[in-house]
Amino acid sequence: MKLSYNGIRYFGWQKQKQFPSVHQAFEDALKKALPQETEFHTIGASRTDARVHALGQVVRVNLTDLNLEPAELKKILNQNLPFDIRAENVIRTHSYFKVIAFAKDKEYLYLFQNKAETRPWMFPYTVNFEEELNFNLMAEAAKLFVGEYDFKNYCYRAEHVSNTIRKVYECELIEQYQMDLDGIQIKSHALRIRGAGFLKQMVRIIMGTLVQVGNGTVTIDQVRQSLEFPQNRQKLGFIAPPHGLFLHFIKYPQKYMDLEL
**Domains 2-101 and 105-249 agree in fold:** yes
The predicted-structure confidence for 64-73, as pLDDT tens digits, reads as follows 777 788 999 9
Which active-site residues does the annotation give?
Answer: 49
Q: At 257, is the pLDDT very low, low, confident or very high (cuts 50, 70, 90)?
A: low
CA geometry: angle 82, 243, 53, nearest 5 deg: 45
Phi, psi dihedrals of residue 116, rounded to the nearest 5° = -100, 160
Phi, psi dihedrals of residue 79, rounded to the nearest 5° = -70, -20
Compute the residue count for the chain. Answer: 261
CATH, range 105-249: 3.30.70.660
CATH of 2-101, one of 3.40.50.2300, 3.40.120.10, 2.120.10.70, 3.30.70.580: 3.30.70.580
pLDDT confidence of residue 158: 66
Q: Which of 155-159, 203-207, 237-241 has the lowest mean pLDDT?
A: 155-159
Check the CA dihedral 238-241-247-248 and report its sign.
negative
Q: How many other C-beta atoms lie within 10 A of the C-beta of residue 238?
A: 14
Q: At 116, is the pLDDT very low, low, confident or very high (cuts 50, 70, 90)?
A: confident
What SS3 class is residue 244? helix
Strands 245-251 and 53-63: parallel
Mean pLDDT, the chain, integer: 91
**Would you kindly state where each structural domain of the chain is located, as residue ranges?**
2-101, 105-249
The predicted-structure confidence for 207-233, as pLDDT tens digits, reads as follows 999 999 999 999 999 999 999 998 877
Q: What dihedral do alpha carbons 101, 163, 44, 1 form, nearest 10°?
A: -40
